[in-house]
Amino acid sequence: MSSPLRLAIAGLGTVGIGVVKIIRQKAALLEARSGRKVQIVAVSARNRDKDRGVSLADYAWEDDPVVMATRDDVDVFVELMGGSDGPAKAATEAALKAGKDVVTANKALLAHHGQELAELAEEKGCVLRFEAAVAGGIPIIKSLTEGLAGNGIDRVMGVMNGTCNYILTRMEATGQGYNALFDEADKLGYLEADPNLDVGGIDAGHKLSLLSSIAFGTQVDFDSVELEGIQRVSIEDIRQAADMGYRIKLLGVARMTGRGLEQSMAPCLVPASSPLGQLEGGTNMVVVEGDQVGQVVLRGAGAGEGPTASAVMGDVMDIARGLRVTTFGQPASTLVKSTPAQAAAPAPYYLRMELMDKPGALAKIATALGEAGLSIHRMRQYDHADNSAPVLIVTHKTTRSALDDALARMATTGVISSEPVALRIEEV
């Protein structure tokens, strides 16, 4: 019989305890499916005395995760601490240098240090797997590295932050504004300790950069992801989008073009009838378009104890079965540095602005748009009771560079009382 696969788990929060529960409760199933026992030998966390609702008495306790990562009786180091640097990075490096395989749920760590860690893993003959780092329980990493390995990938897009999707769908359902729903999400525990990681698009941007690396064979380049959060989306935007047959999503889109790698994470309008448009609450969805398979849609829980622990265990089980796949789907030495590119594919844009209530204001805006080469598909001006007039414009298809030119020209007109909201209308 094969020897047991011995794990050390660093980080005993929601996900870490979820992994412990699966291994304790499903030991026979895991052994039957992998052909060997999967067991925990050591654990580590910041607070040894905290009641976590499950007994840890059978496992060795290490105060220092770096020390635990190099124990002789450990085969796989499971990193669930989080953070792009500090103990998570130090312990992961120590584990790989000691010849241990690593499973992590840490998207920030890989978004910032993925290339060097992948190179280290391959140098030491180890695997570094991170299914749980992107879209929770959705097996998107495995799909890209294995199931879709015979495809050239044309586009990857998706809703990858459940908190933002919860806020946006609740705005539509309740008629409440962003601030009220932000507070609701906070009370429900949906927000990160630093909320801007969620609502600012950073968390989702980390995930998109990892998917881009696998899909297009490039080194991870989070710094080139164009980021825009959902803070400026108003209930009026939600209502107007719905009136036109769209819904607003924080949408990640990555594609490789002749100009370079486009990566953006920003609020977009998507057709309400599309799979992305129908996505509710905290659920995630990733859409992959391959040259052989066409469009593949994966939908599921993007966070939480069970879904994320399930993804961790998927990686653990691959290692237990002897399946060894490179970190980003091909040798790290073959990943190329991408040339960042702004999205150039023409698309219609939704614009909302507040104009000063004075003669000729709207004409100046129309002139600025025309001078930048933008034409107006539809326009609406709303009743107002103060000195500003809300105006909504939907353009015909245009490029982002032309839109930026138009916005710059509009800023010089002297008739806009606040910065316009500009959202791409993405056909999916």
- Residue linked to tokens 């991408």: 338
Reported as type and span, the H/E element at residue 353 is strand 349-356
The C-alpha atoms of residue 119 and residue 121 are separated, in whole angstroms, by 5
Choose the catalytic residue: 89, 100, 207, 249.
207
Q: CA-to-CA distance for 139 and 131, rounded, in angstroms? A: 7
As a whole number of angstroms, the distance between CA 168 and CA 234 comes to 9
**Look-up of token digits 């609502």:** 199
Query: In whole angstroms, what is the distance from residue 13 CA to residue 352 CA?
Result: 42
Nearest CA to 46 out of 80, 70, 78 is that of 80
207 given a catalytic annotation? yes
Q: Where are the beta strands (DSSP E) in 149-221?
A: 153-159
Smallest CA-to-CA distance from 142 within 155, 129, 151 is with 129
Nearest to 249 by CA among 202, 197, 284: 284
357 HSE (CA, 13 A, CB side): 10
Rounded to 10 deg, the angle between the 162-174 and 235-243 helix axes is 80
Return the biggest CA–CA distance within the chain: 85
Question: What distance in Å separates the CA atoms of residue 83 and residue 109, rounded to the nearest whole number?
Answer: 6
Q: Are 230 and 172 in contact (CB under 8 A)?
A: no
Helix (H) or strand (E) holding 97: helix 86-97
Locus of tokens 């130090």: 90
- Which tokens is 205 given? 């941007």
Report, as residue numbers or ranges, the catalytic residues. Answer: 207
